Amino acid sequence: MHELRKTEALIDGVWCALDRRFAVTNPATEDVIAQVSDCGVAETEQAIDAAQRAWPAWSALSSLARSDVLWRWYELVVANQSALAQLLTQEQGKPLAEALGEVLYGASYIRWFAEEARRLDGDVLSLPQSDRRGLVIRQSLGVVAAITPWNFPIAMFARKVAPALAAGCTVVLKPAAETPLSALAVAELALRAGVPKGVFNVVTGTDAPAIGQAMTSHPAVKKLTFTGSTKVGRLLLRQCADAIKRTSMELGGNAPLLVFEDADVDLAVAGTMAAKFRNAGQTCICANRILVHEAIYPRFLQALTRAVDALQQGAGEQEGVTIGPMISAAAVQTTHERVAEAVTQGAIVHRGGFVSPLGESFYPPTILLHVQPSMRVWREELFAPVLPIMTFTTDEQAIALANDTEAGLAAYVFTESRHRCWQVSEALQFGMVGVNETAISSEVIPFGGIKASGSGREGSKYGLADYTELKYICMGGLS
């Protein structure tokens, strides 16, 4: 693992040490595990300039050559999966089994886009004139700036960088300051795989607004891809507007999970547990609001309570732990304040809802009952292991409650009715809907949302297209 532990920025193929450093801590123990180079505007601009210089040669490579590099990168990530998972758990906190799952999930994107790199096909158009032929080709955008979050530092990295490189773009990545080590380790493997200098750059730093501004204002950057809060996404979109930069935004979620009266209760509870408590509830597609038909509510709550009571919370490295800490003590404080506010407004804490004795970054799995739509625990994304539950009586009521949010990322439906599967899925205003399933994400699907949850798609053939420009070529004089 130590050979993958990098603490410097990667600019133009060189690990750049800076006198300015920032601390990376283990959220479970609050121990400092690394001091990392703290980049600013100057380093970001150097990285963008390096990416611009590297772009012509990288984009001119054959799709097969780029595919081969990505394949070698994928194989190195898989070969080092154990070391990467340990590093991820140390800086992010999630249980080791979850960390290993994330490493392989991230690797799946590198493999997928290694394959898709060879499928950047175009079209021949049937033009109305007999002496002309129309061609449509895809070309790489150029330099891509990518900003990734701390909750899935390897998966979100791979989901952005792999398609960009496959399309012939070059990349400057800004990972979250809370979790830079995972990104730097995977970047080291990219160098070993043969990614040329300047094609992939990583700037680490704590001044996110300044780095983001440098990315959005630099004329060489042709696209910005961002995963994070809707608030920050709006700011970045405004900054990109003047230069009309291409953007893709994967922003906040507030996913509803609807359990109808004909649902398989055990399946619905298992899906709820997987969708809510993975990564301590710090997932953009977490089931954030549970809507249960009143006819099966008692059975559902009983089964859910048993499942929550069986969770084992602790440091991610400990054997048997199924839920780790939150990312920071500040996140715990915000969560507890939100729960306490809901209680003052009439909610009842059924499980959890207290400050954990395990440490300042731990918050226990919490179930809230008697929740009302006006409460912030219902209206706003929690990003915490807190589960608000409401009941409903009709399909129309459930759909209306589910759609009553500015977010539109993911939603989940549990029902045994084929008619209801289609009717409800089509009525829900979300970019992704899981029916009798909450593990909906993979490299082959177009991940993304609507409304205030963003624009663009990641993964799948649609995700690759987001890193290309369409060019039409008219060939005349052919008679």
pLDDT digits (tens, 9 = 90+) for 239-283: 999 999 999 999 999 999 999 999 999 999 999 999 999 999 999
Q: What is the pTM of this model?
A: 0.96
Q: What is the pLDDT along the chain (479 residues), one digit of tens a residue?
A: 568 999 999 999 999 999 999 999 999 999 999 999 999 999 999 999 999 999 999 999 999 999 999 999 999 999 999 999 999 999 999 999 999 999 999 999 999 999 999 998 899 999 999 999 999 999 999 999 999 999 999 999 999 999 999 999 999 999 999 999 999 999 999 999 999 999 999 999 999 999 999 999 999 999 999 999 999 999 999 999 999 999 999 999 999 999 999 999 999 999 999 999 999 999 999 999 999 999 999 999 999 999 999 999 999 999 999 999 999 999 999 999 999 999 999 999 999 999 899 999 999 999 999 999 999 999 999 999 999 999 999 999 999 999 999 999 999 999 999 999 999 999 999 999 999 999 999 999 999 999 999 999 999 999 999 999 999 999 999 98
**Tokens 């996110």 correspond to what residue?**
208
**Catalytic (active-site) positions:** 250, 284
What is the C-alpha separation between 15 and 12, in angstroms, rounded? 8
Tokens of 199: 């094609």
Cβ count near 282 (within 10 Å): 23
What would the 3-class secondary structure string for the chain be? CHHHCCCCEEECCEEECCCCEEEEECCCCCCEEEEEECCCHHHHHHHHHHHHHHHHHHHHCCHHHHHHHHHHHHHHHHHCHHHHHHHHHHHHCCCHHHHHHHHHHHHHHHHHHHHHHHHCCCEEECCCCCCCEEEEEEEECCEEEEECCCCCCCHHHHHHHHHHHHCCCEEEEECCCCCHHHHHHHHHHHHHHCCCCCCEEECCCCCHHHHHHHHHHCCCEEEEEEECCHHHHHHHHHHHHCCCCEEEEECCCCEEEEECCCCCHHHHHHHHHHHHHHHHHCCCCCEEEEEEECCCHHHHHHHHHHHHHCCCECCCCCCCCCECCCCCHHHHHHHHHHHHHHHHCCCEEEECCCCCCCCCCCCCCEEEECCCCCCHHHHCCCCCCEEEEEEECCHHHHHHHHHCCCCCCEEEEECCCHHHHHHHHHHCCCCEEEECCCCCCCCCCCECCCHHHEECCECHHHHHHCCEEEEEEEECCCC
**Tokens 């696209």 correspond to what residue?**
223
Q: What domains, with CATH codes, occur in the chain? A: 2-252+452-474 (3.40.605.10), 255-404+410-442 (3.40.309.10)
What is the C-alpha separation between 473 and 98, in angstroms, rounded? 48
pLDDT digits (tens, 9 = 90+) for 377-414: 999 999 999 999 999 999 999 999 999 999 999 999 99
Strand order in the sheet with 432-435: 348-351, 366-369, 386-392, 287-293, 255-259, 410-414, 432-435
Q: Which of 196, 233, 246, 240 is nearest to 216 (CA)?
A: 240
